[in-house]
Amino acid sequence: MAEDDINLFDGNEDIVVEAEYTEDDIKTLDWKEHIRRRPGMYIGNLGDGTTSDDGIYVLLKEVLDNSIDEYMMGFGKTVNVDVSAESATVRDFGRGIPLGKLIDVVSKMNTGGKYDSKAFKKSVGLNGVGLKAVNALSTEFTATSYRDGMMKRARFECGELVEESELEPTEEPNGTQISFTPDRSIFRDYKFLDEFITPLIKNYTFLNTGLAIVFNGRRMISRNGLLDLLQANLTSEPLYPVIHLKGDDIEIALTHVNQYGEEYYSFVNGQHTTQGGTHLSAFKEAVSRTMKDYFGRNFEYSDIRNGMVAAIALKVEEPVFESQTKTRLGSRDMGPEGPTVAKFIGDFVKKELDDYLHRDLEVAKVILKKVQESERSRKAMAGIAKLAREKSKKVNLHNKKLLDCRVHLNDVKGDEDLKRASSIFITEGDSAAGSITKIRNVDTQAVFSLRGKPLNTFGLTQKVVYENDEFNCLQAALNIEGGIDELRYNNVIIATDADVDGMHIRLLLITFFLQFFPDLIKKGHVYVLQTPLFRVRNKKTARRGSKKAGDETYYCYNDDERVTAINKLGENAEITRFKGLGEISPEEFKDFIGEDMRLDRVTLKKEDGVSELLEFYMGKNTMERQRFIIDNLIIEDDSQIS
């Protein structure tokens, strides 16, 4: 055996693998080629625009961040954002990129004007990567700078400069305009959706009071910062007016509502840190400690924070994020010569929140009452919860109610892409669970099997979570008893049948999450799996058992797709109606839970009027619901379905 051969043993036989390693294997990639080959390193998830953290929105953020930095430095009070389904244009009215360096700034790695903290003291992006990533990942990228009566434009394709203008006079006001069209070979079948762009832009205005962002002609502006943010996101009435405190480089807002769990919005230098970080941990600790000291009671921190909805925005010099997507702060210090993040936040909260509680005794009384209620509830359930935890562990482990995956959301050593992909399918019955289990990705996809129809939890207390076997085991499987910080799966996917019973189970599960874990929905973790209603195939080749590449089989998710498929196959069309997931073979199912699976995200917004919806659909108004169902009944025509 040659010295460079590797002997691998799989338990049955020796396998010899040629493993030559020469100078020809050493490669140096061009900057744009590296970004295009490894886009996940720069923008995280790719996606198609159907979830808020998909790559096309990260590209938009990278462009917007530069405009926001200009505003933070005192230049330009308006940013225009125009987005179509396939492309975006951002025009700010800041100083404009220095004309002679325009091409370098958008196409040379580690080139930018933010390395000197005197120019950009507390900027979002410091490493000169963002615009270059947008450029490299776009089939069309045009950068235009207007500066002191002159302008320059450069156009790129996939990071390659294809057109450069000379310096030209202009009457346009100073600023920068970036237009880009993401590459469809990287972002498959993508589409920009307003539902994800609007909250992104609103957050920019909440964090930069006085900044106006005009999104597709709609002007957005905030005068009260995080106070406006909380009021825009509260889905339950606050128990007391929002406490809003501001200082140098820090702003906080908080209140309590009658809901279970905790809910936080955290930001650093205008960046929405959806995964928190050192600042959020310090904030939660400081608020809990301050309230505990103020009341002079030995309260548990969890009781103090139960039902709390809060936001923190921090400005840090030269922030360190844990990835290029900047969703989690890693900085321990406020700056090279500043205090630690924990001390800075702790000192501010201790003084300002304590002073506020001493000034407003009525608010302090309401908070005390809420904390005491949480404490009584927790103590009353202590024994039940302990027994329930032991029972759920036995059920999940020994009865195989939970078929787990290998990689979880909070695995420190796990690959980031795998962690984002970590999912749990909540199925009804053994047949559906069996189909998914046989073809799932065991690294990232877990399966939890329900037994029968879940309980309607509307109007019930948290005690039911522990007393009901199904919900107790589900809570344990998700690891959310103490909140969603330790959630084990990034995607909680409800996978029920496409019949009336399946729809009912789906509604009962969503009601459960809304009642007891609303932040799980607000953070975008809950989805509904779309599965095909129909299979339309060529009956001649199907009956012969042919599996040639030319055989036509269409899986249709609605009637329009079914009609289109029937028209394609004509008289040879054979239509099968899937009414249960168990009817779909594992071989077929692998296409529906793979990379192209269709997921509908469950959302929760203030304007949804969730309390009223739950009261109507899940309350005790049985006769009213019956009339509603009869008035809106649709009879399905099964005449053509075999």
Tens digits of residue pLDDT in 20-48: 767 666 666 677 888 888 887 788 778 88
Q: pLDDT of 444-472, one tens digit each? A: 999 998 888 888 888 888 888 888 888 88
> For residue 304, how many other CB atoms are within 10 A of its CB?
25
What is the predicted pLDDT for the residue at 51?
80
Q: For the chain, give the number of residues.
A: 642
The pLDDT of residue 6 = 34
pLDDT in tens, 131-153: 899 999 999 999 999 999 999 99
- The percent of residues above 70 in pLDDT, for the chain, comes to 85
pLDDT at 365 (0 to 100): 97
Under 8 Å between Cβ of 113 and 147: no
Residues with Cβ within 8 Å of residue 544, at least 6 apart in sequence: none
What helix, strand, coil percent values describe the chain, rounded to 5?
40, 20, 40
User: Beta strands 212-215 and 218-220: pairing type?
Assistant: antiparallel
pLDDT at 399: 58
pLDDT at 351: 96
Fold that domain 402-531+598-631 belongs to in CATH: Rossmann fold (3.40.50)
Q: What CATH number was assigned to the domain covering residues 237-375? A: 3.30.230.10
- Percentage with pLDDT > 90 across the chain: 43
Lowest mean pLDDT among 248-252, 420-424, 461-465: 461-465
Quote the tokens at residue 222.
């905030």
The amino acid sitting at 532 is P
The answer to whether the beta carbons of residues 616 and 624 sit under 8 Å apart is: yes
Sorted by where each begins, the domain ranges of the chain are 37-220, 237-375, 402-531+598-631, 534-577
Residue 505 has pLDDT above 80, yes or no: yes
Mean pLDDT score, 198-215: 94
Dihedrals phi, psi of 416, to nearest 5 degrees: -60, -40
- Cα separation, 588 vs 584, in Å, equals 6
- For residue 510, the surrounding DSSP H or E stretch is helix 500-516
Domain 37-220 has CATH 1.10.760.10: no
Whole-angstrom distance, CA of residue 228 vs CA of residue 213: 15
Q: How confident is residue 551, by pLDDT bands cut at 50, 70 and 90?
A: low
Structural contact between residues 508 and 502, judged by C-beta atoms closer than 8 angstroms: no
pLDDT top residue among 385 and 283: 283
Q: Can you tell me the mean pLDDT for 238-250?
A: 95
Q: How far apart are CA 227 and CA 204, in angstroms?
A: 14
